[in-house]
Amino acid sequence: MAQTRSGSNLIWNILSYAVLILLAVLSIGPLLWMLLTSFKVEDDIVTRTMVYLPTRFTLENYIKLWNQSGYPVLVINSLVTTTLTVAICLFTGTIASYAFSRFNFPGRTPLMLGYLVVRMFPAVLMIIPLFIVMRNLGLFDTSLGLAVAYTSFLLPLFVWMLKGFFDAAPTELESAARIDGSTRIGAMFRIVIPIARNGLVATCVFVAIAAWNEYLFALMLTSSTGSRTWPVGLQLMVGEFQLPWGMLAAGGIISIIPVIVLFALVQRVMVAGITAGAVKG
Amino acid sequence: MATLSIKGVRKSFGAVEVLNNIDIEVEDGGFLVLLGPSGCGKSTLLAIIAGLEPSSGGDILIGDKNVNDVHPKDRNIAMVFQSYALYPTMPVRRNIGFGLEMRKVDAKEREAAVQRAAELLQIEHLLDRKPGQLSGGQRQRVAMGRAIVRNPDLFLFDEPLSNLDAKLRVEMRTEIKRLHDRLGTTTVYVTHDQVEALTLGTKVAVMKGGVIQQLADPETIYDRPANMFVAGFIGSPTMNFLTGMLEHGDGGLVLRHAAGSLALVGLEQDVAAFVGREVVAGIRPETLNAGQGAAGLQGIVDVVEPTGPDTMVIVSVGGQLLTARLGPKVRPKPGDTLNLSVDTAAINLFDPVTGNRI
């Protein structure tokens, strides 16, 4: 009996590992291929037979990208837009989700559902009205305008996620803080937010990555290099008669560096935040 | 320190009335216990006193000051919560001193006050730990430290011992009593545990369905319960109820029940109006003794439960089950016929229709 169980355990383990390894290969493979491509010369990329490893290691793609295509501006634009998006979400979303979590006001449930409704429509539907709004407000082709547009669909995510983390913090703690001499808002900043810190970091990272990678809105709501973000810039490098694979790969690699750095910095906090939310929220 | 007056306090959530016209006065240095089953409104009343919940009507006065519209932070109260509500991100030292910190007390003075409170509760060695590293009993002490450090006018306790194991609960109960004797701060204490209520309170309010059933000192609550709810809620094992007809007998009033009659010698109540009607006699298990006396009952032993210091004997008297708390050496067998003498002066008679004490 015991042997049968350990036998089936072994098969189960092998299967799990096989699936996990497959998933790992699927997600790491393209990244690795992009990395290799970025170090190849043109002759190694466009070939009759597949060349896996660069025959000649080169940084030429990176140099060309950096010097000729205005890529640094694109990355800076993306950084500005992402920072603005996170800042707006952090400021408005934290207060909103605290209110949703703690107060029982008339219209609370419809309002929360309203937040979700935004996400039920395809992004394409929202772009035209947003385009008109931004143009009339003079926010078209600005980083702020793009950040506001991102907020329109990222704020619901932010509020709903953070509400779960706030819900997990016992209300008695705020009652205790209020008796101890805090105001409600003071109790929120001194007691609840420190408890929900991991969740807050996790939520911010989600929003930041979504804003960093966004393409469609950025394509529609920017028209010049003054505010264009890297995904759009990268796509525009593909011309009718040219496909600069090496530069595209180099651009891809550069653009994921901030994401990797962000993850490395907050990884532990974020995992703690997500799992805490999963268990309690 | 201060008195506490609760005047006509009501609370309703929509159509549901959870507190109905509550009137309580607590003297300076008094210890009021709000006792009742879950959902009786006792915690809501405490939250209203604390200012965490608005009332739907009535007044709360701490000292002479009406605090209806006063923010919890300005009521000069301290509260110990059932979950202790220690701030998980702060070490014990800061948890205890948080109230002083919020009141901008100078750091040196704050430190001294925290140290004093910690010494009083014997938790000096825990000051640098986080709440997550403490045991239940230690958390309880820290929560109390946070309450006493500020010298508040009023202590509020919301079922503070219910998360502790039985042994620790008894210890902490003694600790709370000692603390109250020492500090003399007016206290309101919510519990569903009648032993806590009787041992701690100078005044006990038994509540049910948002209404105070009885407000009196613990002795009166135990010996002379106002109605059958209070009688049944207080005491373990609970009070026995023996139904019978109240009649005039040879030497005075008797209770004629299914298996005979019980002479009501020394009854304190004026029950003249109920003669010839059915009444319920409330008999505490410890007022029943083995053997025959001036007034007695005879029944068949149903179950015998030795508990160590006592033996609980459940006896069937004409089909009604009564529990008797007898001495440790008394060991009747199930099926035996047992004679019990009754201290009839301790009996309470209730009206079976209203449930109230006659």
Domain containing A276 — which CATH number?
1.10.3720.10
Tens-digit pLDDT string for chain B (358 aa): 689 999 999 999 888 999 999 999 999 999 999 999 998 999 999 999 999 999 999 999 999 999 999 999 999 999 999 999 999 989 999 999 999 999 999 999 999 999 999 998 889 999 999 999 999 889 999 999 999 998 899 999 999 998 888 888 998 999 899 999 999 999 999 999 999 999 999 999 999 999 999 999 999 999 999 999 999 999 888 999 999 999 988 778 889 888 888 888 888 888 888 988 999 999 999 999 988 777 788 899 999 999 989 999 999 998 899 999 998 888 889 998 999 999 988 999 999 999 999 8
Same domain membership, residue A144 and residue A244: yes
pLDDT category at A262 given cuts 50, 70, 90 is: confident
CA distance B307 to B328: 8
**Is the CB of residue B57 less than 8 Å from the CB of residue B8?**
yes
Are B81 and A178 in contact (CB < 8 Å)?
A: no
Q: Collapsing DSSP states into helix, strand and coil, what is residue B338?
A: strand
Same domain membership, residue A87 and residue A19: no
Counted across chains A and B, CB pairs separated by less than 8 A come out at 58
Are B50 and A177 in contact (CB < 8 Å)?
A: no
The pTM of the full predicted model, rounded to 2 decimals, is 0.80
Indicate the fold that domain B4-233 takes in CATH: Rossmann fold (3.40.50)
Q: Nearest-CA residue of chain A relative to B149?
A: A180
Task: Compute the average pLDDT of residues A239-251.
Answer: 87
Same domain membership, residue A129 and residue A33: no
Are A176 and B77 in contact (CB < 8 Å)?
A: no
Same domain membership, residue A81 and residue A17: no
Give the tokens for residue A43. Answer: 């002759």
Are A179 and B87 in contact (CB < 8 Å)?
A: no
Residue A281 confidence (pLDDT): 32
Report the phi/psi class of residue A181: left, alpha or beta, with left for phi > 0 and alpha for psi in -120 to 50: left
Q: Collapsing DSSP states into helix, strand and coil, what is residue B147?
A: helix
Same domain membership, residue A17 and residue A122: no
A194 near B CB under 8 A: yes
In a domain, A226, yes or no: yes
In a domain, A62, yes or no: no
Task: Give the nearest partner residue to B72 out of A172, A178, A195, using CB atoms.
Answer: A178
Check residues A4 and A237 and name the one with the higher pLDDT.
Answer: A237
CATH code 3.40.50.300 region(s) in chain B: 4-233
Taking only the tens place, the pLDDT of each residue in A147-200 is: 999 999 899 999 999 999 999 888 999 999 999 999 999 999 999 999 888 889
Q: What is the ipTM of this complex?
A: 0.83
Identify the bridge partners of residue B25 per DSSP, sorted by sequence position. Answer: B5
Q: Nearest-CA residue of chain A relative to B83?
A: A172
Residue B259 confidence (pLDDT): 81
CA distance B132 to B142: 12
In a domain, A195, yes or no: yes
Would you say residue A279 has pLDDT above 50?
Answer: no
Same domain membership, residue A105 and residue A31: no
Q: Collapsing DSSP states into helix, strand and coil, what is residue B130?
A: coil
Are A173 and B99 in contact (CB < 8 Å)?
A: no
Residue A226 confidence (pLDDT): 86
CATH code 2.40.50.140 region(s) in chain B: 240-350
Same domain membership, residue A84 and residue A28: no
CA distance A57 to A35: 12
Are B71 and A183 in contact (CB < 8 Å)?
A: yes
Residue B60 confidence (pLDDT): 95
In a domain, A217, yes or no: yes
Count of residues for chain A? Answer: 281
pLDDT category at A276 given cuts 50, 70, 90 is: low
Q: Quickly list H helices, chain B.
A: 42-50, 92-102, 107-121, 136-148, 166-183, 194-200, 218-223, 228-233
A176 near B CB under 8 A: yes
**Is the CB of residue B128 less than 8 Å from the CB of residue B99?**
no
Please give the mean pLDDT across all residues of chain A: 89
User: How many CA atoms within 13 Å lie on the side-chain side of B285?
Assistant: 20
Check residues B277 and A239 and name the one with the higher pLDDT.
Answer: B277
CA distance A74 to A79: 9
Chain B hits for A191, Cβ within 8 Å:
87, 89
Same domain membership, residue A157 and residue A20: no
**Is the CB of residue B160 less than 8 Å from the CB of residue B140?**
yes
Q: What are the phi and psi torsion angles at A134 (to 5°)?
A: -65, -40
Task: Tell the burial category of B329 from Cβ atoms under 10 Å away from its Cβ (0-12, 13-18, 19+).
Answer: exposed
In a domain, A127, yes or no: yes
Same domain membership, residue A256 and residue A162: yes
A168 near B CB under 8 A: no
Same domain membership, residue A168 and residue A107: yes
In a domain, A255, yes or no: yes
CA distance B258 to B245: 9
Pairing outcome for strands B31-35 and B57-62: unpaired
Would you say residue A277 has pLDDT above 60?
Answer: no
Q: Nearest-CA residue of chain A relative to B73?
A: A181
Domain that holds residue A101: 67-280
Are B146 and A180 in contact (CB < 8 Å)?
A: yes
Task: Compute the average pLDDT of residues A3-32.
Answer: 90
CA distance B100 to B94: 10
Residue B26 confidence (pLDDT): 95
Task: Give the nearest partner residue to A173 out of B82, B85, B99, using CB atoms.
Answer: B85
Chain B hits for A186, Cβ within 8 Å:
102
Q: Can the peptide bond before residue B237 be classed as cis, meaning omega within 30 degrees of 0?
A: yes
Residue A3 confidence (pLDDT): 56
In a domain, A95, yes or no: yes
Are B72 and A173 in contact (CB < 8 Å)?
A: no
Are A179 and B73 in contact (CB < 8 Å)?
A: yes
Beta strands in chain B (DSSP E): 4-13, 16-26, 31-35, 57-62, 65-66, 77-80, 154-158, 186-191, 203-208, 211-216, 240-248, 253-257, 260-263, 278-283, 288-290, 296-306, 311-317, 320-326, 337-342, 348-350
CA distance B99 to A176: 9
Count of residues for chain B? Answer: 358
Given CATH 2.40.50.140, say whether it is the number of domain B240-350: yes
Same domain membership, residue A96 and residue A136: yes
> How many domains, in total, are found in chain A?
2
In a domain, A43, yes or no: no
Same domain membership, residue A215 and residue A77: yes
CA distance B6 to B4: 7
